Amino acid sequence: MQIVDRTLQLFRTVCSTACVLRILYIATVLLVVAGCSTRFLYNQLDSFIVWKVDDYVPLTSPQKAELKLQVSDQLEASRQDDLPRLAALLDEFAEEVESGAVTQASLDEGFVQMIALIDEFMLGIVPVAEWLLLDLSEEQVAEMFENFEELNQEMYEDYSGETAEERRENRNASAIKAAQRFTGRLTGEQKQLITDSLASMEDASEQWIEYQREWQRRFRDLVENPPPSAEFRQELTQLLVYPRSFHSAEYRAIVDSNRQIANAMMAELITGLSDRQRARAVDKLRGYSELLKKLTASA
């Protein structure tokens, strides 16, 4: 269950409200990257997703059955389309790492491609989310937002309980751990590169919380006061697929600037890897790609 806990933690970090609706894509990728690549486990994702949605919104038996059917169809479509494309991105990145051709620009291009892939996937689950949200009773909607608010309060309390120094230390430890998962042990100089780069980034935590609250306000208003069908789907699509459109200009500028700092740091780190570190990173990337390809090919 470790990967399940890791998945849920990621959802809380990324977006506490959208977690229920985004669980399809990220859970799939995390299960595969963690090594859970068998067709059997992939087939259990629909049941897991229904179970987690039911945690937030108690569903009726017919709703559970229909949700599982729609989720299963979407997962199969993702297995055939999204996973091969994700594998191709990993292969391309592995080649760049092996050849030493990683640059800030190539990392940014990879980021753009990944966002586009996620956006396409999210477009596919909009009809599933639309059906579920419109099928909920007033009581179910009220309970869903009550549960979301509890999660929000936990998240905000966790954030407010940390000092700036604690957040910095946690961020540094998390980034170094993530890098070493691919490269093995980093040198002191490599760790310093990471921490110095993170220190130069602007803290956007407050703006992120403001964005979360605005997103959630719009989402709640849409669900509690649904407009006609076509308008509902259009607004839901904007919320689920293009949430970045709700970023303030200030927040967007900080996010973009921080991403460029991160890309520059990663490019320098990767090009400076030792032969042993580089070989390990390439093996990891190609191993994840092979898992995705096997899952795609399994019947």
**Top-confidence residue, 212 or 191:** 191
Tokens of 38: 């068998």
pTM: 0.78
Contact by Cβ (8 Å): 71, 51: no
pLDDT of residue 3 exceeding 60, the answer is no
Predicted local confidence at residue 51, as pLDDT:
75
**Out of 17-26, 112-121, 188-197, 256-265, which region has the weakest mean confidence (pLDDT)?**
17-26
**Top-confidence residue, 8 or 271:** 271
pLDDT of residue 38 exceeding 80, the answer is no
CA distances from 192 to 112, 199, 251, 261 (A): 27, 10, 27, 14
**Top-confidence residue, 21 or 141:** 141
Domain boundaries along the sequence of the chain = 2-297
Across residues 233-241, what is the average pLDDT?
93
Predicted local confidence at residue 31, as pLDDT:
47
**Out of 221-235, 256-270, 280-294, which region has the weakest mean confidence (pLDDT)?**
280-294
pLDDT in tens, 168-197: 888 899 999 989 999 999 999 999 999 999
Predicted local confidence at residue 44, as pLDDT:
65
pLDDT of residue 99 exceeding 70, the answer is yes
pLDDT in tens, 67-86: 889 888 888 888 888 889 98
pLDDT of residue 9 exceeding 80, the answer is no
Q: How far apart are alpha carbons 66 and 227 in whole angstroms?
A: 23
Tokens of 82: 């999204």
**Number of CB atoms found within 10 A of residue 286's CB:** 18
Contact by Cβ (8 Å): 13, 209: no
**How confident is residue 295, by pLDDT bands cut at 50, 70 and 90?**
confident
Predicted local confidence at residue 122, as pLDDT:
84
